[in-house]
Amino acid sequence: MNGTERKARIAAFNRRERITKLAIWLAIVAFLIIYAWTWRRRAPWENPGSVAVLCAERYHQARTLADTQVVDVAKPFIDKADLVASISCGELRRAGRIK
């Protein structure tokens, strides 16, 4: 094996290694983009810890009509900056967001 042939083999190996690394990074970036896109497309009431889930838990715990009426006017919030915080459990139930 002469010097030129050896350099060509090393260059080919380096090219293959770079292409492999690039493919791995592109796959990771594509996965993160797809994950973020699907996570953002979920309806807010499907997210664990959302207002609708909290309301559904309260409705499940209600045993009497009076308990249900108390839950109807409740406005649970997760974060003070959350805009959905002003929606009551009763409004969500009437809109069909709570099953």
pTM for the structure as a whole: 0.47
Structural domains of the chain, count: 2
Q: Residue 84's pLDDT is what?
A: 52
Residues 35 and 65 in one domain: no
Residue 99 falls inside a structural domain: no
What average pLDDT is seen over the chain? 79
pLDDT at 56 over 80: yes
pLDDT at 23 over 90: yes
Residue 29's pLDDT band, with cuts at 50, 70 and 90, is very high
Judge contact between 88 and 72, C-beta under 8 A.
yes
Given the structure tokens 């889930």, which residue do they identify?
53
Residues 35 and 53 in one domain: no
H runs (alpha helix) in the chain: 3-41, 51-61, 65-73, 89-94
Can you give the residue range of the structural domain that contains 49?
A: 44-94
Rounded CA gap, 81 and 7, in Å?
Answer: 61
Q: Residue 14's pLDDT is what?
A: 77
Distances (CA, A) of 77 to 44, 47, 48, 55: 13, 14, 13, 10
